[in-house]
A and B are shown apart, each in its own frame.
Chain A
């Protein structure tokens, strides 16, 4: 099973798919991060506050850290450097966001997601927000499981073990 997954990942069709997965995941992360940095920490801190999920003391650190975290792992993901580790962190981040969005919907809160600074036009958190995040999540999980493929700055050697 492992060797067939590695063969797929290092073959041309697999590498193309993994490149597309990396591009999709990285585009989401980079866009979200850059928009948040451009808008300054205040709008994102207020958006975090609206979720009513995190302790008040954490809002400001998160408002500064999360956008740069998105930019850093988005960059390494698109380049294919430390791709599996970037994909692991991206999966954790996107998974947390998706869970947070789901709790907002479950609690029927009218909240501005703040994810992409309104770029996709949605005024409030909706099932579209969750479906969109889930798509990106599938992409990062694919890279986590299969690796970056051949078209990466740091492709994996064919005999490199997949996981710890």
Chain B
């Protein structure tokens, strides 16, 4: 088989895939929430070694956690844990739903049926570089949830503020 045959066949296979991809892109455009998501993450207040990098960022995180605590106390938001299930079981915000990004890869998660669309939702993961909460937020917005925020400090920020923690499987 000469090289030209290889090039033509590989080219046709690639072109076929590109054609099908183009058809899907025309029929199923990317949701607006993908383009609207924020890709800039606030700086973590501490390094992995624990030394404070930015006092301003630390203040911002403390204020954020205090705000989330207020919503928790007043029951004016639902919390969503976007971490892996084993992490959720070891400790989570009391009453938090478990909804990780992987659940969306298989289709519409059952948990969405339990979440009201017109109620504030706070999504968290491990803070720092963890972007699972942002991905879940983007997926929720693509599914019509418009009051979703991310707790950037994550579960570590919640726990280090000595706030209530629950363990065990999701109740929902």
Contact = CB atoms under 8 A, between A and B. Distances in A.
A39 B21 contact: no
B81 interface: no
Interface of A: 35, 37-47, 49-50, 56, 60-61, 63-65, 67-69, 71-73, 76, 82, 84-86, 88-89, 109-110, 112, 114, 117-119, 123-124, 160-161, 163-164
- Chain A interface mostly: helix
Which of B16, B31, B126 neighbours the largest number of chain A CB atoms within 10 Å of its CB?
B16
Given A45-B30, A64-B25, A72-B13, 19 more contacts: A35-B106, A42-B31, A42-B33, A46-B135, A50-B135, A60-B34, A64-B24, A67-B21, A68-B18, A71-B17, A72-B16, A82-B9, A85-B9, A85-B10, A109-B129, A112-B100, A112-B132, A163-B1, A164-B2
A158 to B, nearest CB: 14
B20 A86 contact: no
Contact of A89 (B13, B33, B39, B84): B13
Contacts of A123: 84-86, 100, 102
B25 to A, nearest CB: 5
Contacts of B160: none
Q: How large is the interface on B (under 10, 10 to 19, 20 to 34, 35 or more residues)?
A: 35 or more
B107 to A, nearest CB: 6
A84 B10 CA distance: 10
B102 A71 contact: no
Contacts, number: 117
Contact of B17 (A63, A65, A82, A119): A65
Which of B17, B24, B139 neighbours the largest number of chain A CB atoms within 10 Å of its CB?
B17
A112 B129 CA distance: 14
B28 A41 contact: yes
Contacts of A37: 24
Contacts of A117: 102, 105-106
B30 A69 contact: no
Contacts of B126: 110
B139 A69 contact: no
